[in-house]
A and B are shown apart, each in its own frame.
Chain A
Amino acid sequence: MNSSSKRTFAAAGLAALAACILAACAAAPQRNDMLEHARAVVSEAASNPQVAGEARIDLQTAEDALNRADALAKAGKPVADVDHEAYIAERFGLAAQRGAEMAVSEKSIADANNRRNSVLLAAREQETARANDRLQTKTLEADAARSDAQASAQAADAARMDAQASAQENAAAQQRATDLAAALADLQAKKTDRGLVITLGDVLFATGRADLKSGARRSLDKLANFLQQYPQRNVQIEGYTDSVGTDDYNVGLSERRADAVRDALTGMGVSGDRIQTRGLGKSNPVAENDSSTGRQQNRRVEVIISESDGRTATAR
């Protein structure tokens, strides 16, 4: 071996060393961003349960490319080679994800008819329930209206009957008032501050006597009838004389005449409890005693009719 060949040998040794160093550099595990990104995409697609059908085929393609990329990287092949396979892996990994999303959307669309039908069904059920509610409400309202109408009719009947009764009562009251007025007019009753007063003139009695003439009976019949018709009314009978004769005589005579009238009335069926009598003699003259006409007016019996509560005004 000469010097020249020695140099050649040394150069070859250096070259081999350099090659070894270079190879070591290439083989050293390098972090490849493209590859790691592709791995993440493929891994995400692989863990998606919706990946099926064509998406499944895309995922398989992606995984194959990823494996090739890993193998190239492990073998220390040029970065461009690794990147190429990583790129393919990433694209198909994304395609698998998009395909899975598409499947979900398509399933949702396929379900749409069912969902729409269930909405319509629910709406119909709701509508039916509501219609039933409305029907029930209407029925209840109709029932209530019918009851109301019946109640109203009854109330109207009652009101009509009340009105009739009132009218009848009014008519009766009016009739009673008319009757009373007529009866009192018939008795020739005079309204005075002591009440209604009927004056029986002395023509009913014989002079100086206390027994009634037969003609007096007709007048007293009317009074007895009146008292029987109006049982709440009582009477006070007061006898009066003129001024002729002694007071004792006159008072006695006037008492007897009042009593005679009472007896006549009780004889006609009027209860004695309802009758009071007094003899007042020559007191309370209604005319002068200096003429025969005046004295005749003073000789009288007054019958005072009580109010309907049975009481007469205070005696004078």
Chain B
Amino acid sequence: MKSTQAATAALAGALILLSACATAPPPPSADMTRAKAAIDQAQRAGAREYSTEYLNASIAKMERAEAESAKGNNALASRLVAESYADAHLAQVSAQSAKSAKAAEDVDKSIRTLQHEENRSNSP
């Protein structure tokens, strides 16, 4: 009877350990650090001005991720962190692209102006 009880206790302990492993993954601290860095990078790239929507989505997801992580919902937190990173990356690339497009347009405009000036100054 004792041995049976001991075996039952051992099994229960193993099950608890297993279930702890399955339902409570470790908090996604490394990914979170990477995602926060991406948000910083996006902001430096001018995302607040050029890609506000993506940046805001990224920040909102990061906040939710932190909240879920604090509640121990690490699986959901991890998913939110991954999405926050994707948003931040898109915000950064979009901001850079928009800035490049604007710069290219300015250059085009200046060349058109130059051409116009040259044509005018050359016209008889």
Chain A residues with a Cβ under 8 A of chain B: 55, 58, 84, 87-88, 91-92, 94-95, 98-99, 101-102, 104-106, 108-109, 112, 115-116, 119-120, 122-123, 126-127, 130
Q: Name the one of B97, B119, B122, B124 contacting A98, with C-beta atoms under 8 angstroms.
A: B97
Q: Name the one of A91, A105, A115 contacting B100, with C-beta atoms under 8 angstroms.
A: A105
A84 touches B96 (CB 8 A): no
Chain B residues with a Cβ under 8 A of chain A: 79, 82-83, 86-87, 89-90, 93-94, 96-97, 100-101, 103-104, 107-108, 110-111, 114-115, 118-119, 121-122, 124
Query: With a CB–CB cut-off of 8 A, which chain B residues contact A105?
Result: 97, 100-101, 103-104
A127 touches B97 (CB 8 A): no
Query: With a CB–CB cut-off of 8 A, which chain B residues contact A120?
Result: 114, 118
Tell whether A91 pairs with B86 under 8 Å between CB atoms, given A102-B96, A109-B100. Answer: yes
Task: Please give the distance in Å from B37's CB to the nearest CB on chain A.
Answer: 16
CB-CB nearest 3 A-B residue pairs: A123-B118, A91-B86, A105-B100
Query: With a CB–CB cut-off of 8 A, which chain A residues contact B108?
Result: 108, 112
Query: With a CB–CB cut-off of 8 A, which chain A residues contact B82?
Result: 84, 88
Q: Name the one of B79, B101, B115, B124 contacting A84, with C-beta atoms under 8 angstroms.
A: B79
Query: With a CB–CB cut-off of 8 A, which chain B residues contact A119?
Result: 111, 114-115, 118
Rounded to whole angstroms, the CA-CA distance of A102 and B108 in the bound complex is: 15
Rounded to whole angstroms, the CA-CA distance of A230 and B121 in the bound complex is: 79
* Nearest B residue to A80, CB-CB: B79
Tell whether A102 pairs with B118 under 8 Å between CB atoms, given A91-B90, A115-B111, A119-B111. Answer: no
Q: Name the one of A88, A104, A115, A127 contacting B86, with C-beta atoms under 8 angstroms.
A: A88
Rounded to whole angstroms, the CA-CA distance of A105 and B124 in the bound complex is: 36
Rounded to whole angstroms, the CA-CA distance of A89 and B118 in the bound complex is: 49
Rounded to whole angstroms, the CA-CA distance of A273 and B52 in the bound complex is: 131
Query: With a CB–CB cut-off of 8 A, which chain B residues contact A116?
Result: 110-111, 114
Rounded to whole angstroms, the CA-CA distance of A101 and B50 in the bound complex is: 14
Rounded to whole angstroms, the CA-CA distance of A68 and B110 in the bound complex is: 47
A58 touches B101 (CB 8 A): no
Of B83, B121, B122, most buried by chain A (CB within 10 Å of CB) is B122
A112 touches B122 (CB 8 A): no
Rounded to whole angstroms, the CA-CA distance of A92 and B119 in the bound complex is: 45
Query: With a CB–CB cut-off of 8 A, which chain A residues contact B93?
Result: 55, 58, 95, 98-99, 102
Rounded to whole angstroms, the CA-CA distance of A127 and B122 in the bound complex is: 6
* Nearest A residue to B86, CB-CB: A91
Query: With a CB–CB cut-off of 8 A, which chain B residues contact A126?
Result: 118, 122
Given contact pairs A92-B86, A112-B111, enumerate 5 new A-B contacts (beta carbons under 8 Å): A109-B100, A112-B104, A122-B118, A123-B115, A127-B122
Task: Please give the distance in Å from A3's CB to the nearest CB on chain B.
Answer: 30
Query: With a CB–CB cut-off of 8 A, which chain B residues contact A122?
Result: 118
* Nearest A residue to B102, CB-CB: A105
Task: Please give the distance in Å from B57's CB to the nearest CB on chain A.
Answer: 9
* Nearest A residue to B96, CB-CB: A102
Tell whether A98 pairs with B83 under 8 Å between CB atoms, given A115-B111, A120-B118. Answer: no
Of A105, A112, A119, most buried by chain B (CB within 10 Å of CB) is A105
Rounded to whole angstroms, the CA-CA distance of A101 and B103 in the bound complex is: 13
B122 touches A102 (CB 8 A): no
